[in-house]
Amino acid sequence: MPELPEVETIKSDLSILIGSPLKAIIIYDKAYLERNGITPKELKKLEGQKLLQLSRKGKYLFFHFSRHILGFHLGLTGSLILRAGGNPPDKFKHKVLSLNFLDMSLLFSDMRKFGRLFLFDEEKSFQNFLFDIGPDALEIELPQFKEALRSIRKPIKSAFLDQKVISGIGNIYADEILFRAGINPLRSAGSLSEEELQKLYQTMKEVLRLAIQLRGSTIKDYVDGLGRAGMFQTEHLVYQKYGKPCPRCGEPIEKIKVAGRTTSYCPQCQR
């Protein structure tokens, strides 16, 4: 579930770790690592390295250590929670690994195990990986945004969900952005006028920035880097509000499938 606003919030929370050396890595789920093509021995190479910076692209979060880069995609239920002290207590379930710094530990857990881990030992392989991810929705400029969508014939909701077109937007924010921009999720992306593309771009930026300000959306499992729930769900206008009155026109919000994903929209306001 974590999309761009949630991952950006976690990145901000974890920035306190920058400059700290990694003392130890505790591995709780060896099979999780192996599914991601990483051995415990390879991961242990991070021990003793200093965390130089954190970066994000789309829904991916990267830890830049002295000689390696560790990447996370949180999938549906992954979480990264910062704690004071050493190893997390047994009450934490679905633990994958713990990164133990000088006086803080960072626990990665994943209940449904759809998240992914990446380990890069050189800048070139890391840049090649980034190249396959579409431009970040928060960073993309208007000309690039227009160019990315103009030639796409599939529905605009599908284009938003395609992380190779624009990265960072998932089901929640696609529904909220399209409703606020007044665009039907089934509209072909390439059919949008210059005016509609401009409005969609501005709305996308506004929604994402507000969601970051409110620390993301907690629907079920998401918590930020300090284990707290987000608050943007209180601002949702259509997401999962099927059958409820549209906040603009009063007609019922409808539910359809787009790109295999349940989609909420108002057929009156999003013609």
Q: Which residues are catalytic?
A: 2-3, 59, 261
Other CB atoms within 10 A of residue 142 CB: 12
* Residue 218, token pair as written in the block: 């907690």
Residue among 75, 50, 78, 81 nearest 63 (CA): 50
Whole-number Å distance between alpha carbons of 9 and 82: 13
Whole-number Å distance between alpha carbons of 207 and 179: 11
Q: Which amino acid is at 123?
A: E
Task: Answer whether 22's CB lies under 8 Å from 104's CB.
Answer: no
Per DSSP, the residues of 213-238 read: HTT---SSS---TTS---SGGGG-SS
Following CA atoms 223, 229, 234, 238 in sequence, which dihedral angle do they give, to the nearest 10 degrees? 20
Longest dimension (CA), the chain: 59
